[in-house]
Amino acid sequence: MINEIYALFRETLPDIRRSEEKVLEILADKNNHIIAFTQNKQIAGVSVINQNTIYLLCVAKHAQNKGIGTFLLEQSEMYIKSEGFNHIKLGAGKDYIMPGVPMNNDAHEFFKKHGYSHAWGDEGCFDMSQPLSQFAYRQHAIGDTINGVTYRWATRRDPGSVILCVRSAEEKFVEYYLDKDMYEKGNDVTILVAEKDGEIVGTLQVCLELEGAGVGSVGCTTTMPKHQGKGIASTLVILGTKHLKNVGMHTAALGYTYTAIVNMYRRAGYEICMEYFMGEKNV
């Protein structure tokens, strides 16, 4: 069943950049509640729920505009309410296949008609990307010191200092920096740091092919508050992106970012490729 749901996800949402391995892992969570609508013994629509979050609600193209989506949403809301929740989120909960509802095909209008509103107010949620064939930054490299700040790879000696930096800048990112494997060379996820006067003042995760062959990514960018506004985060992103190109990635991507830092990523060549409706509703 999980593979059938994955195939339906790819058919209906082909523009979502999420690796097959990761999506299947999320779909296989034993705590999911799955509501499937079948036609001719095949899944024509599905809702995947985890706690009070609808991870995925989609209907096969041949079965759209026949009330199946409304049926699935109503059943999902009834189930979530029966579990004792009075608030529903779309997209991101304990984990996510998508941060919210993609807006490129007006799918969010369906949810708005059913009483959902954008949880982030005036703030937008985006995915960004760029073809690395067009990335051409040559001025500096990892290992250089720029305006008194040295940009280098983190090592096994650094986890404590990295966590201090991340916690001071963005507490919610701490969990993404705890894996000790990221502080070893040769891993798919590594950490680039900015160091000034022996103190780590900025961090960035650099990932290889987690979202597909030839696709690299950067994210979880942080800078200590007292060092913000000095270009450290932008430089981390530029150098991390340069590394992705140097090791043979054809595309650089980042997901689940927000309006306030879009321009920082744009300075490194990234452009918005998807906007999400961060839907929520009280029931």
172 lies in a domain?
A: yes
Same domain, 89 and 141: no
User: CA of 122: how far to CAs of 79, 215, 260, in Å?
Assistant: 30, 30, 11
Let me know whether 155 and 251 are in one domain: yes
- Residue 120 maps to a domain: no
Q: Residue 187: its pLDDT value, please? A: 87
Alpha-carbon span 272 to 150, nearest angstrom: 29
What is the model's pTM? 0.87
Residues 176/159, Cβ–Cβ less than 8 Å: no
Asked whether residue 106 is domain-assigned, the answer is no
Residue 92 and residue 149 in one domain: no
Give yes or no: residues 44 and 170 share one domain.
no
Tell me how far apart the alpha carbons of residues 128 and 281 are, in angstroms, rounded to a whole number. 27
Tokens describing residue 5: 């749901």
Domain count, the chain: 2
CATH number at residue 239: 3.40.630.30
Residue 231 lies in a domain: yes
Assess whether 87 and 137 both reside in one domain. no
Instruction: Report the interhelical angle of 259-266 vs 232-246 (nearest 10°).
Output: 60
Together in a domain, 18 and 139: no
Among 59, 80, 98, where does a domain finish?
98
Beta strand pairing call for 87-90 and 53-59: parallel
> Do residues 136 and 272 share a domain?
yes
In a domain, 104, yes or no: no
In a domain, 103, yes or no: no
Last residue of one domain, picked from the residues 83, 98, 113: 98
Q: 158 and 73 share a domain?
A: no
Give the strand pairing for 215-223 and 251-258: parallel
165 shares a domain with 45:
no
Structural domain that includes position 132: 128-277
Q: Within a domain: residue 52?
A: yes
User: Each residue's pLDDT tens digit in the chain (283 positions)?
Assistant: 899 999 999 999 998 988 898 999 999 999 999 999 998 889 999 999 999 999 999 999 999 999 999 999 999 999 999 999 999 999 999 999 999 999 988 889 999 999 999 999 999 999 999 999 989 988 999 999 999 999 999 999 999 999 999 999 999 999 999 999 999 888 899 999 999 999 999 999 999 988 888 999 999 999 999 999 999 999 999 999 999 999 999 999 998 999 988 999 999 999 999 999 999 999 9
Asked if residue 116 belongs to a domain, the reply is no
Residue 147 and residue 264 in one domain: yes
- Sheet containing 149-153: which strands, arranged edge to edge? 101-102, 271-277, 125-131, 251-258, 215-223, 199-208, 189-196, 149-153, 145-146
Q: Is the CB of residue 254 less than 8 Å from the CB of residue 127?
A: yes
Residues 85, 135 share a domain = no
Same domain, 145 and 253: yes
